[in-house]
Structures are given as structure tokens and as C-alpha cells.
Amino acid sequence: MDDLTPIEEHVRQILAFYGENPEREGLVKTPQRVAKSLAYLLRGYNENPDDIVGDAIFHEDCNHMVIVRDIEVYSLCEHHMLPFYGRCHIGYIPQGRVYGVSKLARLVDCFASRLQIQERLTQQIARYIKDHIQAEGVGVVMECHHLCMMMRGVEKQNSIMVTSAMLGSFHKSAATRTEFLQLIQRQKS
């Protein structure tokens, strides 16, 4: 999406609707900035997860749990187009194939850079990881703050939404699930 002119025009109309002068000094470039910002925040629509992972799947004789925790996540809720942000924790048990570690964070960014609900985002990440290396099991836990709950509506500043997706052995085995959940807990200092 190279031509952002339609978005810029809509932003000008929104500003005018609320009684602002889109031509005043502080707002004259706001439509362009908003259009560029949305293009960046929603870049995931133009990204293919397969291209992101590329050839960063490696054959490795590894069948123990691999965890990457505290991956920062930023997204926009599809209901209000307000941000939600937090952390994503990923664990998987490979069966001879592992991901390059940075690719897991990039996959989170790819799926999060679309209009989302946290429940679907968590499931999309888990399903992609499991399906593309035929992992024995995958666990994904997300903990996020939602500005649609903090800035408007119920205005609850300290609420955190937690979602999880447990696939394969993470779903079937209480011991595997418990190990993952214990390992993603923060250490108390």
C-alpha cells in the first residue's frame, strides 16, 4: 500500500468533524503522520510468515522444551483500533527441527501487526509454530494491557488479560504444561 492519500483525507475529515482546523500549524502534517503510523502498525497484512521464517528452520537432534519468554508485543484491537501491549511467552518441543530464535519474535510481530483480538493472536502464533516444524507440542501465553479498557469504557488501569494456547503435548500432558508455566514465571529478586 504505497498511496496513503485516502487515509490522509479521512484523517483531515475526522479532525474537522471534531471542530479542529486541519490547516493549523500543529495539525497540518498530522494526516500524513497518522497514515504512515497506521501503515507501520498494520504492516502484518503485507507480510507472509513463511517469508519471515525463510530458511531459519534447522535440523537438530533436540526433543527437549525450548522457551523464549518476555517477547514484547504491540497490537491494535479490532474493536476500537486502540493499542494493546504486553508480553508473549513461547515454548515448544521440537522433533528434529528448531526455529532460529529471532524468528519466533518476528512471527509474533507479524501476527500482532494486524487488527487483532488477543485470543486469536495467541492461537495464530501457536498454530503456526506447531504446523511448520511438526513440533510435538507448543505453548503460547500472552499477558497484555488493553487501552480500550484503560482509556475508555470501564477505565480499569491495572487489568491484564492472559490468554494461552496449548497444542499437542502441552495440551495432552499436565506435566508438560506445568513445566512450561513454571519456567515462564518471573524470578523474584
pLDDT of residue 159: 93
Q: What is the mean pLDDT of each run of 10 residues along the chain (189 residues)?
A: 90 97 97 97 97 95 94 97 98 96 97 98 98 97 96 90 98 97 79
Q: Which residues pair with 143 in a beta bridge?
A: 87, 162
The b/e string for 121-143 (b: 16+ C-beta within 10 A; e otherwise) is bbbbbbebbbeebebbbbbbbbb
Strand, coil or helix: what is 67? strand
Fold of 50-183: GTP Cyclohydrolase I, domain 2 (3.30.1130)
CATH superfamily, domain 5-41, is GTP cyclohydrolase I, N-terminal domain (1.10.286.10)
Model-level pTM? 0.93
Q: In angstroms, how far is CA 134 from the centroid of its own chain?
A: 22
The residue behind cell 524470578 is 187
Domain borders along the chain are: 5-41, 50-183
Residue 156, pLDDT score: 87
Asked, colleague to colleague, whether 5-41 and 50-183 share their fold, the answer is: no
Give the model's pLDDT for residue 187: 64
Range list of H helices, the chain: 5-17, 30-41, 49-53, 101-112, 118-133, 147-150, 169-172, 174-183
> Number of H helices and number of E strands within the chain?
8, 7
